[in-house]
A and B are shown apart, each in its own frame.
Chain A
C-alpha cells in the first residue's frame, strides 16, 4: 500500500471524499512529524507508539581508504507496536504453542527421536533436506529405521490426541529440525 492507495482506502472506509481524506492524512503526518522532531512521542491507539531515539556518536571506517571518520550522534525514529497489532500479526499463522497438548506432542517427539538417535545413530537419515515435505521425511525415516520407526509412530499415536496429530506432524517436524541439512 502506498500514499495514494491509502487515501483511497481511508476515503472509502470512512465515507469522506478523497480530497478530505488526503487533507486529514497529510495533517496527521505533519503533526506526528512535528511532535517527533520536538522530542515528544505520539501514541496511536491500537497501532503503537512512535518516539525518537538518541543514537550516540560513533567512529566508523570508510570502506575505500579505511580512514576513520566520526559520525555525529543523531535522533532516529522508533516504533513500539501495540499488543493488539503484535497479536494480529502473530495470528497470521496458527499459534499452537499456547496449547499444552501441542507442547506435550512436541516434547514426546523430541524424546522419541532423541532416543532413536541415541540407540540407532548409524541409521539416522542424513539425506534429509530442510525443505522436504512431511511425507518425504516420514518415508525416509521408515526406510532408515525400519520396524523401530513403526514402534515410534505407534507410541506417538497412543499418547497424542488425534486432533493434535492431524493439525501438525510433529514427528516429521522434529526429524527435519534434528537431521535435515539445507538443500545444496
Chain B
C-alpha cells in the first residue's frame, strides 16, 4: 500500500495468483472491459510467443473516494507456470490482497495445491502473517466436464474458510463478485490496522 497524503490517495496492490491456465489473465481482461473508461488505465500484457503470461498483466483502476481518500487499485496477475517462481515472488511483493484462482479441472487438482503452497510459502518467507493477508478464493472453470465438486475444493484448498466464489471467468461469471470481495477484505484489513495503530498511540 502506498499513501499519498498530499493528494489524498491510497494505492492498493491486488494480485491474481494461481496455477498455469487457471484464468488469472481472463479475470483481469473481464474486469478491464467492465470498468468505466474514465476510471481504468491501459491493460498491459507481457505475453510469450504462445500468448501466455511471461511476466505479468497489469492495469490501474480508480474505484473512487472512501473516507476522503481516493482509492487507486493496481491489479496484477502472476505467471502461472511453476518455473517462473522468481517472477511470481517479485510480483507478489507488497501485495495488499490476493485472489487465488483455482482451476476446477480434475487434472489440475495437484497443480492447485502446489500453487497455493507456493503462495503461502512466498508470503511467509517475506515475513507476512497469513492471517493478516486478505486472500479470496475463486474456483474457476466451473463449466468444465467433471469439474471437481466445490466441497472437495473447499476441503483441500480452503480449510480456513476464507471467502470463496465459483466462477466461469471466460463468461464473466463470478469475476466481479470475487473482485468486490477482495476489495472489501482489503479495506477491512486496513481499518483494523488503523484501529490497532491508534490504540497503540493512545497507550
Taking Cβ atoms with an 8 Å cutoff, the residues of A that contact B are 107-108, 110-112, 114-116, 118-120, 148, 151-152, 154-155, 158-159
B52: chain A residues at CB < 8 Å are 119
Pairs A–B under 8 Å by Cβ, sample size 5: A110-B110, A112-B83, A119-B52, A119-B81, A155-B82
> How large, as a class, is the contact surface on chain B?
10 to 19
Contact call B110/A111, Cβ cutoff below 8 A: yes
- B1-43: CB near A (< 8 Å → 1, else 0) gives 0000000000000000001110000000000000000000000
Contact A111 B50 (CB under 8 A): no
Contact B110 A115, beta carbon cutoff 8 Å: no
**CB atoms of B82 and A119 under 8 A apart:** no
- In-complex Cβ contact of B50 among A107, A112, A120, A155 (8 A): A120
B residues near A (Cβ < 8 Å) are: 19-21, 50, 52, 80-86, 110-111, 114-115
Bound-complex Cα distance A18 to B165 (A): 78
Q: Which are the 3 A-B pairs with shortest beta-carbon distances?
A: A111-B82, A155-B83, A152-B83
B80 contacts which chain A residues (CB < 8 A)? 115
- Find B20's partner among A110, A118, A151, A158 (CB 8 Å cutoff): A118
Chain B residue with the shortest CB-CB distance to A109: B82
Given A118-B20, A119-B20, CB of A148 within 8 Å of CB of B111: no
A112 with B82: CB separation less than 8 A: yes
On whether the beta carbons of B114 and A111 are closer than 8 Å, the reply is: yes
Question: Complex: how many Å from CA A111 to CA B82?
Answer: 7
Complex Cα gap A159–B86 (Å): 11
Q: Which residue of A lies closest to B85 (CB)?
A: A155
Are B83 and A108 within 8 A (Cβ)?
Answer: no
